[in-house]
Structure 1
Amino acid sequence: MRQRLMDATVELLVEKGFGGTTTTLVSERAGVSRGAQLHHFPTKNDLVVAAVSHLTAIRGSDLEAAVARLPRGEGRTEAVVQMLGDHFASDVFTAALELWVAARTDEHLHEAVAPLEQHLGRETHRLTVELLGIDEGRPGTRELVQATLDLVRGLGLANTLGDDARRRRRILTEWARTLDAALRNPQGDDA
């Protein structure tokens, strides 16, 4: 029952946003009685805070599944960058974004969202470093990874206002070329 409630909450966050997600709609979508929903989650904030952890787990497992499909060798950088772009343009990112915006002015929700997002951010950074085979000891490489993550996050945000897939793919293809060149030659040396 909790799983159905969590899934319904995430779906409604994507469809109706934080403001339009109500406990009544969640219980209806999950197919559980209002009383059962209230037993597990007495308030909307209780429900949404639980959904934050659920959403974090979904985002992590979605990334793991995408990583398993990545090619090795030529084209890997672009595949990694495109995979990250797809992740940050997904429905789970949209739901997370709804929570970020609501957490900005809701202290209780902020206390739940901020630590999980920081953890997920660190893990996504670590995963990106690993997937690209980057040595973060080299000057500028950490910043390149962070610029990549900031870029895909921003493109994901733009995607919430309309399907931006074609433009996103073109931008990320060019960024992958730039990233590849910078990683091969991190200090602009001619060597």
Structure 2
Amino acid sequence: MAVVTAPKQDRSRATRQRLLEAAVACLAEHGWAGSTVSVVAERAGVSRGAAQHHFPTREDLFTAAVEYVAEERSSALRALPVQSRAAVVEALVDLYTGPLFRAALHLWVAASNAPHEEQLRARVTELEARVGRETHRIAVELLGADESLPGVRETVQGLLDMARGLGLANLLTDDAARRGRVVAQWGRLLEEALG
């Protein structure tokens, strides 16, 4: 009986995917200091050499991981069915209080430690600007917001900033009860503000 093996390109793609998922998990659980290429490679079940084949530097690996996180966040938002504005607020907050945001946050903190991480800082800053624009655009669509009206753009951005703040608060304590009340209030405020 012949054993059929996956083409080399498919195996390479699968290895890259495992590395990105492992990098996100490591950042979320251990932060920047505890997330080395070796730790990620071990978690992904590949050799350090295989990891460095796909991502030559630690910065390459973790920047790609945050880009992966951003794409996952955008995909999750785009996949939301058209719902009430309150449900959109809740979905946005869920994204910012989950492990994908936690991983991105650890990378932001590491990137802020300039001058030691100047290259990482430049890459993360550019990536987050792009992700911020995309998230804002998707939020506008999901909310059915008309940004040609005065204050609407700022209202949507305020929602995203609030969701990010709730994500930060969630790092230290389980803030689910208070967060639920805040999210409900934001849903009501958006209905009034956006009409």
Partner of 1:35: 49
Confirm or deny: 8 A CA contact 1:52 1:112 kept in the other structure: no
Instruction: List, as ranges, runs of 4+ consecutive aligned residues in structure 1 with deviation greater than 6 Å.
Output: none
List alignment gaps of at least 5 residues for structure 1. Answer: 185-191
SS, match of residue 92 in structure 2: helix
- For 1:45, which of 59, 83, 92 is the aligned residue? 59
AA aligned to 2:183 is: L
Aligned partner (choices 99, 113, 116) of residue 127 of structure 2:
116
RMSD, aligned CA: 1.4
TM-score (norm 2): 0.86
How many equivalent pairs are there?
A: 178
- For residues 43 and 159 of structure 1, do their structure 2 counterparts lie closer, same or farther at Cα, with a shift above 3 Å needed? same
Q: Which runs of 5+ in 2 are unaligned?
A: 1-14
Task: Report the counterpart of residue 159 of structure 1 in structure 2.
Answer: 170
Matches within 5 A, 1:74-93: 76-93=84-101
Other structure's SS at 2:33 match? helix
Q: Are the equivalent residues in 1 in contact too, given 2:66–2:103 (CA < 8 A)?
A: no
State the Cα deviation string for residues 49-97 of structure 1 (Å, max 9, x = none): 22222222222222223x13x43xxxx1111111111111010000011
2:109 is the counterpart of 1:101: yes
* Residue pair 1:49, 1:113 contacting (<8 A) in 2 also: yes
Q: Which amino acid aligns with 2:76?
A: D
105-114 or 46-55: bigger deviation: 46-55
